[in-house]
Amino acid sequence: MCSYNRVNGPFACDNADTLKTILKGEIGFKGFVTSDWGGVHSVLFINQGLDMEMPGTLPAGSPLAVLLNSFFLTAPPAAPGAPPDADALAGILGGSIPEEPLPDPTHLGAFPRDTDGTTMREALKNGTVSEATITAAARRVLIVVDGFTVSVAAALAARIDENVLDYCVFGHCSAEHAHRALLTHLEVKPLLDLGMRLGEGSGAAVALSVVRASLGLFTDMATFEGAGVSEKSA
């Protein structure tokens, strides 16, 4: 996750030196980079190594909706929201306990003001963001699907775009009969089938260790040539 600060000039979520050159290049990070809430100030951040923005689209009635813009949108832009409510923001962003002195009032001027409202939809049209860049970012996001409820959500997403299943790993088959039937309908195989019913994402948490081990074997296993093993017979 990249945060709100600047690193040698650019914002942390817009810094190709740290995200692309160092993190993904030199260190070889294979995961995805997401922003902190409101850490994106332009759709062009995706060109500098950012893969996902948070929080995404906020409800129109949210007191944060005016301050936290969503840029990775492909739908037409919505109507502008109401001016920010300083009292509501103070309750979200600040607070104190009786033993502490009262905090300073919330200063809205401390938030960076986004001057470029271009969305992903518009950036694709004008060519400032390419489909190849979006595809590269999407390929870094692996969705580990947990349990019956989340599998239903994945099935609904697949009704909208069947390609979404290409990015999903179904962590386990729970003890519910409906879950097994749904996985069969989707023609997917879970990594684990242990009859788990603990809830709280525990199946995905266990499955994630299998995913990590698989990636480690795929990327770090030495070849005969790399390990210096001779293929010549004795």
Contact 174, 196 (CB under 8 A): yes
CA gap 151, 33 in Å, rounded: 24
DSSP 9: S
- C-alpha span between 178 and 99 (Å, rounded): 52
**Top-ranked range on mean pLDDT: pick from 70-84, 90-104, 172-186:** 172-186
Mean pLDDT check: name the lowest of 105-114, 184-193, 198-207. 105-114
The values of phi and psi at residue 134, to 5°, are -65, -40
User: 150 to each of 190, 192, 206, how far by Cα in Å?
Assistant: 13, 15, 16
Does the pLDDT value for residue 76 go beyond 70? no
Is the pLDDT reported for residue 141 higher than 60? yes
- pLDDT tens per residue, range 92-134: 455 555 665 665 555 555 556 667 778 888 888 898 998 888 8
Mean pLDDT of the chain: 80
Any alpha helices (H) in 34-146, and if so which ranges?
Answer: 86-93, 120-126, 131-138
pTM of the model as a whole: 0.57
| Residue boundaries of the structural domains of the chain | 1-78+86-91+114-140, 142-219
φ, ψ at 63 (rounded to 5°): -65, -15
At residue 205 the predicted structure's pLDDT band, cuts being 50, 70 and 90, is confident
Phi, psi dihedral angles at 112 (to 5 degrees): -60, 135
Report which residue type is found at 92. I
DSSP 3-state assignment of 2? strand
Strands 143-145 and 168-170: parallel
Residue 36 vs residues 14, 30, 90, 107, 179: alpha-carbon distances, Å: 12, 19, 19, 20, 33
Spatial contact of 22 and 29, defined as CB atoms under 8 Å apart: no
The catalytic residues are 200
Q: Is the pLDDT of residue 210 over 60?
A: yes
**Cα separation, 208 vs 216, whole angstroms:** 12
Least confident of 139-148, 163-172, 182-191, 196-205: 196-205
Report d(CA 222, CA 31) in Å as an integer. 21
